[in-house]
Amino acid sequence: MASDDPHPPGPQGDNDPAAPRLAMEMKEQARPGLVTVAGYGRGGFRVGQTWYAGAVLVLPGRCVALGAVAPAEIDAARLAPLWDASDPADIVLFGGGASLLPVPAAMRAALAARGLSADPMDSGAAARTFNVLVAEDRRVGAVLLPL
């Protein structure tokens, strides 16, 4: 679910401006037209100026909401934007949420079928790494699970 609210409601649905909003907010440094992860926490991600609840698949040109997805459900169909893009990813990051998780078997199989693999890390590290690689004009994709 995407929202244009840069400060999503808290877990109880409040919009208290004094409440902490995200675990991390980042300053956007990328060139216009490139998608970067601007913040994360509270069960989702801010990509550009849009808030996404749940997991996301982020590419340099767009973000795809995966919603409330279990790691085992990340399969070839959910990863299709990685290779359906006009400039397919050759680096794939897997953010496992608040901690390092192994790359799910279905995701690993879908990537291996295309000669790719994924680098697992926590979602904060994956978001920051994605932003650095995008700024370097690398063909990168990131699957990010919420914290």
Domain range list for the chain: 25-144
Residue tagged 């904060």 (tokens):
124
Which two tokens mark 134? Answer: 């995008």
Query: Which is it for strands 118-121 and 91-95: parallel, antiparallel or unpaired?
Result: parallel
Given this structure, which CATH class describes domain 25-144? Answer: alpha beta
| pLDDT of 126 higher than 90 | yes
Q: What pTM was computed for the model?
A: 0.80
pLDDT in tens, 59-72: 999 999 998 899 99
Most confident of 1-10, 12-21, 26-35, 74-83: 74-83
Q: Identify the three-state secondary structure at position 40.
A: strand
